[in-house]
């Protein structure tokens, strides 16, 4: 979704803003712009353009802009088409103020009518231009900008974060947050603002996340944060984030997604290092005895998430039910939040999210808390909103994931789910300790098995070449690998734009089998498992109808190899590990098909990395 960068200090703001926006490109956007404050000219200069940052940089190439402060934005259209006019920043009618904004002002139409009646004119279709004029409407030298912002915010409904500069108060940036993420970065005689930390990693690793209904005033030397209701200063210590800028770069790979696929063995290794202690104990950093005691009393789990994280939740359901013998319900956050779920203090609501900022998942978490359920967040981004608001957070330690298509974050969620499962099984004494111990020792072999699976890349390339022209793919799996089928299909459709549908293999006869002919590829995920024989029957049914079978199976499964048109072998491990291994060839397949079709792998059309609006 939209990206925000703000800067004030001793450097030329233009290059900080552009560099910051480059690091936010992964979030997905369709136009970009900057607004700069120059002390000597006493003017705000705005440069913006539709399309990618390259277009904005072209416009800037001919300009000699120097500025000590400014705002930068990448826009993902909500109100009004992607265009230069609708791109941010937006100026108020008198050109005194410039704003950048993420989120949605739900009552913007009514506010716009009111402002029009007062003589304000609008040039874009955005709710953002309404916001800046509303602030301008309350702004005078005597009231000052902060007061004007606070008055305007009282009138604005919805979920938003914004940053503002004024040519009349050139030594400060003002920022406000409600629901959409905003983080302040601390420098030496310079300060920064951004919608996520990756924009600021080249400059600082000290950050302060704004909470809802907090506003901040930044100068080059100071940062002040206030609570909207009390107007009192907020005293919170900045957090240090250990991600390096190198981790957020491509490191020789042609795409972030490919780099992130190859990082998976290391990600699993890191999780094991963090969560598996000597003697095979599973421990989660900072879990209190009180929280542990509450977990012991839990009678039911809800796993709530979106997209890829939802697939991780389904895998988690199968794991927890088998080993911890606890009932688990899985829900898509956007449904859960409006379903009026029946929850109480004996329920554990687990929210799973890479970004920790997904609007629907955040709403689901808040509902769970209102209903007094115990909450647990499994999140990648340290300090993100879900991480801060949940009763307890387990970080997935995958490092920054830049490719819009989630890969290593998914594998990290699954690996973390394995730890959570073993932990819960012990807590509830529901599986024989010998069995859990043997899982822990096998878990330690998982990074090497992931590494081995990556060796399939060349043969997957060949398979992708045979099928990259096709427009329809089916994915089927059972048990732990039913969600693998969903995830494989999601990966392919989001980055190649081919239609791909994942099914529980048992559902084949209930409809999708009608699609099978000699043009229909079916990706069958069939490693050894308790439903292996059923998968083989499904594959035979597909072959009997001339379908094309691309099979993922266990190494040494010659029978499946003979049956399939293409066969990819993953290392032999217990079933619980198979969704991690089986998804790797599917990620590689989707990647290759996307490249062969000339798609934008890392920033596929219409998609955003972090979905911070409903
Ligand atoms: O940041 P989150 O994990 O909460 O994001 C959830 C989904 O938006 C995300 O997984 C999305 O489906 C990805 N593009 C999938 O590759």
Residues 484 and 434 in one domain: no
Residues 51 and 157 in one domain: yes
Residues 430 and 461 in one domain: no
Residue 580 Cβ < 6 Å to ligand 1: no
Residue 307 Cβ < 6 Å to ligand 1: yes
Check residue 614 and give its pLDDT. 77
pTM score: 0.79
H/E stretch holding 553: strand 548-554
Angle, vertex CA 255, rays to CA 251 and CA 260, nearest 5: 70
Residue 613 Cβ < 6 Å to ligand 1: no
In a domain, 606, yes or no: no
Domain finish residue from 216, 240, 264:
240
Check residue 1 and give its pLDDT. 66
Residues 436 and 462 in one domain: no
Residues 6+ apart with CB under 8 A from 545: 513, 516, 517
Residue 260 Cβ < 6 Å to ligand 1: no
Residues 293 and 217 in one domain: no
Q: What does residue 249 show for φ and ψ, rounded to 5 degrees?
A: -115, 170
Residue 486 Cβ < 6 Å to ligand 1: no
**Whole domain around residue 560: which residue ranges?**
456-596
Nearest CA to ligand 1 atom 8: 307
Residues of the chain with pLDDT under 70: 1, 245-246, 248
Check residue 352 and give its pLDDT. 98
Pocket test for ligand 1, best of 198, 256, 354 (most atoms within 8 A of CB): 354
- Cα 410 to averaged position of ligand 1 atoms, centre (Å): 9
Residues 198 and 260 in one domain: no
2 is catalytic: yes
What is the number of domains present in the chain?
A: 3
Residues 475 and 430 in one domain: no
In a domain, 37, yes or no: yes
In a domain, 304, yes or no: yes
Nearest CA to ligand 1 atom 9: 307
Check residue 550 and give its pLDDT. 98
Residues 277 and 397 in one domain: yes
Residues 343 and 417 in one domain: yes
Pocket test for ligand 1, best of 28, 307, 409 (most atoms within 8 A of CB): 307
Residue 404 Cβ < 6 Å to ligand 1: yes
Pocket test for ligand 1, best of 198, 257, 309 (most atoms within 8 A of CB): 309
3-class SS string, 73-131: EEECCCCCCCCCCCCCCEECCCCCEEEEEEEEECCHHHHHHHHHHCCCCCCCCCHHHHH
In a domain, 35, yes or no: yes
Whole-number Å distance between alpha carbons of 393 and 120: 47
Q: Which of 112, 259, 408, 609 is catalytic?
A: 609
Q: What does residue 450 show for φ and ψ, rounded to 5 degrees?
A: -65, -45
In a domain, 88, yes or no: yes
- CB 429: neighbour CB atoms within 10 A? 11
SS3 category, 146 = helix
Residues 464 and 437 in one domain: no
Give me the count of residues in the chain: 614
Residue 179 Cβ < 6 Å to ligand 1: no
Whole-number Å distance between alpha carbons of 213 and 153: 9
CATH of the domain at 230: 3.60.20.10
Residue 358 Cβ < 6 Å to ligand 1: yes
CATH of the domain at 536: 3.40.50.10490
- Cα 309 to averaged position of ligand 1 atoms, centre (Å): 6
SS3 category, 575 = helix
Q: Which atom of ligand 1 is nearest to the CA of 611?
A: 8
In a domain, 114, yes or no: yes
Residues 50 and 124 in one domain: yes
Domain finish residue from 240, 273, 307:
240
What does the pLDDT look like over 564-605, one tens digit per residue? 999 999 999 999 999 999 999 999 999 999 999 999 999 899
Domain finish residue from 421, 444, 467:
444
Residues 14 and 112 in one domain: yes
In a domain, 537, yes or no: yes
In a domain, 299, yes or no: yes
């Amino acid at each position: 979704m939209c990206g925000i960068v703000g800067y004030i200090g001793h450097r030329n703001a233009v290059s900080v803003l552009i560099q910051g926006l480059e690091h936010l490109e992964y979030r997905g956007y369709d136009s970009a712009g900057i607004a700069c404050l120059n002390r000597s000219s006493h003017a705000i200069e705005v440069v913006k353009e539709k399309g990618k940052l390259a277009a904005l940089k072209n416009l800037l190439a001919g300009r000699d802009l120097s500025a000590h402060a400014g705002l930068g934005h990448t826009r993902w259209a909500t109100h009004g088409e992607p265009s230069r006019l609708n791109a941010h920043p937006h100026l108020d009618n008198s050109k005194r103020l410039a704003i950048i904004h993420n989120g949605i002002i739900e009552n913007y139409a009514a506010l716009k009518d009111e402002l029009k009646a007062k003589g304000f004119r609008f040039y874009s279709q955005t709710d953002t231009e309404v916001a800046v004029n509303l602030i301008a409407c309350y702004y005078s030298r005597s009231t000052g900008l902060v007061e004007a912002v606070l008055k305007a915010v009282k009138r604005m409904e919805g979920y938003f974060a914004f940053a503002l500069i004024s040519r009349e108060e050139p030594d400060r940036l003002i920022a406000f947050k409600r629901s959409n993420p905003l983080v302040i970065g601390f420098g030496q005689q310079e300060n920064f603002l951004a919608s996520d930390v990756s924009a600021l990693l080249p400059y600082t690793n000290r950050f302060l996340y704004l909470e809802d209904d907090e506003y901040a005033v930044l100068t080059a030397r100071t940062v002040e944060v206030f609570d909207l209701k009390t107007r009192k200063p907020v005293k919170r210590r900045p957090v240090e984030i250990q991600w390096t800028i190198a981790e957020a770069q491509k490191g020789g790979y042609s795409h972030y997604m490919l780099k992130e696929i190859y990082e998976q063995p290391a990600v699993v290794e890191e999780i094991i290092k963090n969560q598996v202690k000597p003697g095979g104990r599973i421990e989660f950093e900072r879990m209190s005895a009180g929280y542990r005691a509450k977990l012991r009393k839990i009678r039911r789990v809800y796993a709530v998430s979106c997209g890829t994280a939802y697939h991780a939740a389904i895998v988690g359901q199968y794991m927890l039910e088998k080993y911890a013998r606890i009932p688990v319900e899985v829900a898509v956050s956007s449904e859960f939040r409006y379903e009026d779920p029946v929850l109480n203090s004996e329920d554990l609501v687990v929210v799973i999210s890479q970004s920790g900022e997904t609007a629907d998942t955040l709403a689901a978490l808040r509902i769970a808390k209102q209903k007094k359920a115990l909450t647990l967040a499994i999140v990648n981004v340290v300090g993100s909103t879900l991480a801060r608001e949940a009763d307890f957070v387990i970080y997935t330690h995958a490092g920054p994931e830049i490719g819009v298509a989630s890969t290593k974050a998914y594998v990290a969620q699954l690996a973390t789910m394995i730890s959570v499962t073993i932990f819960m099984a012990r807590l509830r004494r529901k599986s024989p300790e010998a069995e859990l111990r043997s899982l822990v020792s096998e878990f330690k072999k998982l990074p090497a098995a992931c590494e081995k699976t990556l060796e399939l890349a060349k043969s997957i390339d060949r398979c992708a070449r045979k099928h990259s022209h096709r427009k329809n793919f089916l994915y089927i799996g059972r048990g732990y690998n039913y969600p693998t089928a969903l995830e494989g299909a999601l990966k392919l459709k989001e980055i190649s734009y081919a239609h791909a549908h994942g099914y529980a293999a048992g559902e084949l006869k209930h409809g999708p089998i009608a699609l099978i002919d000699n043009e229909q590829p079916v990706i069958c995920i069939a490693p050894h498992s308790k439903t292996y024989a059923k998968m083989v029957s499904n594959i035979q049914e597909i072959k009997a109808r001339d379908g094309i079978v691309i099979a993922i199976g266990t190494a040494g499964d010659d029978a499946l190899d003979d049956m399939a048109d293409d066969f990819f072998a993953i290392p032999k491990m217990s079933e619980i590990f198979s969704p991690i291994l089986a998804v790797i060839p599917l990620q590689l397949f989707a990647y290759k098909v996307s490249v062969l079709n000339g798609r934008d792998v890392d920033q596929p059309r219409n998609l955003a990395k972090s979905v911070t609006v409903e």
